């Protein structure tokens, strides 16, 4: 188990929600925290409240994340903890999604994670640091209507798992945080989408895709509302506690909803059944080939015997 006392920790998407809660937990654990967010006001507000450093960053931009890495090193020193938490989500059927929709979701959720690792890895090698990438339960089991989001989070899962294998020899632990339903503002993340009113531009109200109504079917939840529709909502603070426990222990996965194990299990069972079916089909085909071969051989022997008799 390894603590965080005196370590430099960077949290993207740290201005609100899960990111801010993780930043607060890191501060309580003695870390020196850099809160980074595309929303400069949110980052500054969180920094004032937590007594940490604030940075503005667009994780979908390589140059912006590289500038963040340089700024953190200059102001705080080399990072020992990287939390790639910035993410966006919107709901729409896959057939309605436009190229711009995919570019936005992939740019933030997947490329943002990759950019963070690429920019900070030299510092993390120096400190034998730790990485936490925020994925989702949607990256372990997909949901209809959230296909775009799920696609990006499945990619984050794969990226994190491979990264953990590749960096193990360097002593860098990599953790995948897979939250279930959490009471945050993720549902209105289009406010920071390029061209949105929240990003300082006009909203494109064109038909189709997510443009102009990026939050169709996904809205901020009422923090005072109870659970419903089979969902158990938790707070960002609960997620942060799970995340830091996993980071301390160097665990590969940080799961916030253990009661959802059956959902992932059902998906894996379906995949395993496909393997079993393929094996059975292969064995049946081989058996048929052997029987056919034996039959052909038997017919040939019979013909030869009959010829000898004549």
- Cα(88)–Cα(76) distance, rounded to whole angstroms? 28
Q: Where are the beta strands (DSSP E) in 42-129?
A: 53-56, 81-84
Q: Distance (Å, rounded) from C-alpha 34 to C-alpha 37?
A: 10
Provide the β-strand partners of residue 12: 36
Q: How far apart are CA 175 and CA 131, in angstroms?
A: 6
CA neighbours within 13 Å on the CB side: how many for 203?
A: 13
- Look at residue 180 and give its three-state secondary structure: coil
Residue 148: C-alpha distances to residues 26, 93, 122, 168 (Å): 31, 8, 31, 30
Please give the radius of gyration of the chain, using alpha carbons only, rounded to the nearest integer: 26
The one catalytic residue among 4, 149, 154, 260 = 149
CA-to-CA distance for 56 and 3, rounded, in angstroms? 27
Q: What are the start-end ranges of the E strands in the chain?
A: 8-12, 32-37, 53-56, 81-84, 130-134, 173-178, 253-255
Active site residue 159: no
Main-chain dihedrals φ then ψ at residue 8, nearest 5 degrees: -85, 125
Q: Which residues sit opposite 177 in a β-bridge?
A: 134, 254
Sheet containing 81-84: order of strands: 53-56, 32-37, 8-12, 81-84, 130-134, 173-178, 253-255
CA distance 26 to 278: 48
Indicate the DSSP class of residue 14.
T
Tell me which residues are annotated as active site: 149
């Amino acid at each position: 188990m390894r603590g965080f006392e005196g370590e430099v920790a960077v949290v993207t998407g740290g201005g609100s929600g899960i990111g801010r809660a993780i930043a607060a937990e890191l501060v309580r654990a003695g870390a020196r925290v850099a809160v980074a967010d595309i929303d400069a006001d949110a980052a500054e507000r969180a920094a004032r409240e937590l007594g940490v450093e604030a940075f503005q960053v667009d994780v979908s931009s390589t140059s912006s994340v590289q500038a963040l890495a340089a700024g953190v090193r200059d102001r705080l020193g080399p990072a020992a903890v990287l939390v790639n938490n910035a993410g966006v989500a919107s709901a729409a059927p896959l057939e309605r999604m436009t190229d711009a929709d995919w570019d936005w979701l992939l740019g933030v959720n997947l490329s943002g994670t990759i950019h963070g690792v690429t920019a900070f890895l030299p510092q993390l090698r120096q400190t034998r640091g730790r990485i936490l990438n925020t994925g989702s339960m949607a990256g372990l089991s997909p949901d209809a209507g959230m296909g775009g989001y799920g696609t990006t989070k499945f990619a984050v899962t794969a990226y994190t798992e491979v990264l953990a294998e590749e960096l193990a020899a360097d002593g860098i632990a990599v953790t995948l945080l897979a939250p279930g339903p959490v009471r945050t503002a993720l549902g209105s993340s289009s406010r920071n989408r390029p061209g949105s009113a929240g990003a300082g531009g006009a909203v494109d109200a064109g038909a189709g895709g997510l443009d102009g109504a990026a939050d169709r079917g996904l809205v901020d939840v009422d923090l005072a509302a109870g659970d419903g529709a089979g969902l158990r909502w938790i707070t960002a603070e609960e997620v942060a506690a799970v995340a830091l426990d996993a980071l301390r222990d160097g665990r590969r996965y940080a799961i916030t909803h253990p009661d959802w194990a059956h959902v992932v299990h059902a998906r894996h069972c379906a995949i395993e059944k496909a393997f079993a079916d393929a094996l059975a089909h292969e064995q049946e085909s081989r058996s048929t080939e052997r029987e056919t071969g034996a039959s052909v051989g038997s017919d040939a022997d019979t013909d030869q015997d009959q010829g000898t008799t004549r």
